[in-house]
A and B are shown apart, each in its own frame.
Chain A
Amino acid sequence: MATHVQSVSAHPRANIRVDLQVIADMIPLGTRVLDIGCGDGALLDYLAHFRQVDGRGMEISQAGVNKGVAHGLSVIQGDADTDLKDYPSDAFDFVILSQTLQATYDPREVLNQLVRIGRRAIVSFPNFGAWHVRLKLLWSGKMPVTDSYDVAWYETPNIHLCTIDDFVELCEDVGITIEQGMVLDARGRPRALRAPGFLANLLGEQGLFVLTRRR
Chain B
Amino acid sequence: MLSTASPPPVLPGKRLEIPAHDPLKLDSGASLGPLTLAYQTYGTLDARRANAVLVCHALTGDQFVAEPHPLTGKPGWWETLVGPGRILDTDRYFVICVNVIGGCMGTTGPKETDPTTGKPYGLSFPVITVGDMVRAQKRIVDALGIESLFCVIGGSMGGMQVLQWAATYPDQVFAAIPIATASRHSAQNIAFHEVGRQAIMADPEWCGGDYQLKGMRPHRGLAVARMAAHITYLSETALHRKFGRNLQDRDVLSYGFGADFQVESYLRHQGSTFVDRFDANSYLYITRAMDYFDLARDFGGQLADAFRGSKARFCVVSFTSDWLFPTAQSRALVHALNAAATNVSFVEIPTDKGHDAFLLDEPELLDVLGGFIDGCAERRGLKR
Contacts and interface: CB of A to CB of B under 8 A. Distances in A.
Where chain A touches its partner, the secondary structure class is mixed
A131 interface: no
Nearest to B349: A66
Contact of B334 (A70, A76, A91): A76
Interface in A65-102: 65-66, 68-78, 83, 86-88, 91
B382 interface: no
Contacts of A74: 313, 343-345
Contacts of A88: 339-341
A109 interface: no
A72 B294 CA distance: 30
A92 to B, nearest CB: 9
A69 B335 contact: no
Interface string B339-361: 11101111111100000000000
A146 interface: no
Given A62-B350, A77-B346, A77-B347, A69 B372 contact: yes
A62 B341 contact: no
B347 A86 contact: no
Nearest to B320: A62
Contacts of B313: 74
A72 B336 CA distance: 22
Contacts of B81: none
- Say which size band chain B's interface belongs to: 20 to 34
Interface residues of A, number: 21
Contacts of A91: 341
Interface string A137-169: 000000000000000000000000000000000
A172 to B, nearest CB: 30
A62 B347 contact: yes
A76 B316 CA distance: 9
A72 B372 contact: yes
A69 B371 contact: yes
B344 A70 contact: no
A56 interface: yes
A66 B368 contact: yes
B341 A69 contact: no
Contacts of A83: 335, 338
A68 B344 CA distance: 12
Nearest to B317: A69
B336 to A, nearest CB: 8
B341 A87 contact: yes
Contacts of B339: 86-88
A190 to B, nearest CB: 32
Contacts of A76: 316, 334, 338, 344-346
Given A66-B367, A69-B371, A86 B343 contact: no
B343 A56 contact: yes
B175 to A, nearest CB: 11
A87 to B, nearest CB: 5
A64 to B, nearest CB: 11
Contacts of A86: 335-336, 338-339
Contact of B368 (A54, A56, A69, A87): A69
B338 A54 contact: no
17 contacts: A62-B348, A62-B350, A66-B349, A66-B368, A68-B345, A69-B315, A70-B372, A72-B371, A72-B372, A72-B375, A73-B345, A73-B375, A74-B313, A74-B344, A76-B316, A77-B348, A83-B338
**In the A-B complex, the 7 residue pairs with the closest CB atoms:** A72-B375, A70-B371, A76-B346, A86-B335, A70-B367, A86-B338, A69-B345
Interface of A: 54, 56, 62, 65-66, 68-78, 83, 86-88, 91
